[in-house]
């Protein structure tokens, strides 16, 4: 697992930042991607020459090519692509305006697939694509319904992608975090639920363990995997 060459989206905070720290501190190199250039620069100052970044808004698909070019220039080849960037809004379906709907669908669903497709020429046998979904797909997310819908679409496409990349001897690792202790819910305009909480650092460690051990599915914390069976009967958890 040492000396991984990774591209991590959403690297300026939360899971993406924690994962970037873990990879670089274990001897790897990371190209971080996020909109917040100030936060990326701060991470660069912390991690030094083994971290570089591309400030990009993934709601604009035209910026994906800059990410690929950044990976080519800084990493040469890519061992792991982590599709982690995403956002939600605490609004009912009917409260979302058109721009919010388009932006959320693009960032949470379209952009990671488009980035994966364009990054494949830099990847090789044994490479992995890590798609960060959410354990919330197993519930009716009444307070984050459009976010939940985009993540369900991402989950479905990721499972299909796993079959396609298996033919290239590459893996897709699906990650289903619970309520991560980050600023996600605050930025979304709500309050984080009290159940199923986990730190970004713990999720990052679970992802690295999955890469090392050959796991294809990660729940963090692990006990929330029960939602696969009971989630449909627990619609009010979110």
Q: Are 50 and 233 in contact (CB under 8 A)?
A: no
**Paired tokens of 170:** 């590459």
Q: Among candidates 48, 9, 60, which has minimal Cα distance to 31? A: 9
| Rounded Cα distance, 79 and 1, in Å | 10
Backbone dihedral region for residue 104 (phi beyond 0: left; psi -120 to 50: alpha; all else: beta): alpha
Active site residue 238: no
- With CA atoms as reference, report the closest residue to 201 among 7, 22, 5: 22
Neighbours of 25 (CB within 10 A): 10
Q: How far apart are CA 213 and CA 209, in angstroms?
A: 6
Is the dihedral angle over the CA atoms 104, 106, 109, 111 positive or is it negative? Answer: negative
As a whole number of Å, the end-to-end CA separation of the chain is 35
169: left (phi over 0), alpha (psi -120 to 50) or beta: left
For residue 138, what are the contacts with CB-CB under 8 A and spacing of at least 6?
A: 227, 228, 231, 232
Determine which one of 147, 176, 219, 238 is catalytic.
147
Name the residues annotated as catalytic.
147
């Amino acid at each position: 697992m040492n000396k991984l060459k990774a591209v991590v989206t959403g690297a300026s905070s939360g899971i993406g930042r924690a994962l970037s720290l873990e990879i670089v501190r274990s001897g790897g190199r990371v190209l971080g991607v996020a909109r917040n250039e100030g936060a990326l620069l701060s991470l660069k100052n912390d991690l030094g020459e083994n971290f570089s970044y591309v400030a990009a808004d993934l709601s604009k698909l035209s910026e994906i090519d800059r990410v690929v070019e950044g990976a080519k220039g800084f990493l040469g080849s890519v061992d792991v692509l982590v599709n982690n960037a995403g956002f939600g809004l605490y609004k009912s379906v009917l409260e979302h305006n058109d721009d919010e709907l388009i932006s959320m669908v693009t960032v949470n669903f379209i952009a990671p697939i488009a980035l994966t497709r364009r990054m494949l020429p830099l990847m090789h046998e044994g490479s992995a694509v890590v798609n960060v979904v959410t354990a919330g797909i197993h519930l009716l997310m009444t307070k984050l319904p459009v976010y939940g819908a985009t993540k369900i679409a991402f989950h479905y496409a990721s499972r299909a992608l796993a079959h396609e990349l298996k033919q290239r001897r590459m893996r897709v690792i699906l990650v289903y975090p619970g309520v991560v202790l980050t600023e996600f819910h605050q930025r979304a305009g709500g309050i984080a639920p009290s159940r199923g909480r986990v730190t970004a650092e713990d999720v990052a460690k679970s992802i690295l363990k999955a890469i090392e051990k050959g796991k294809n599915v990660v729940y963090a914390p692990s006990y929330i995997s029960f939602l696969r069976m009971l989630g449909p009967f627990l619609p009010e958890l979110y």
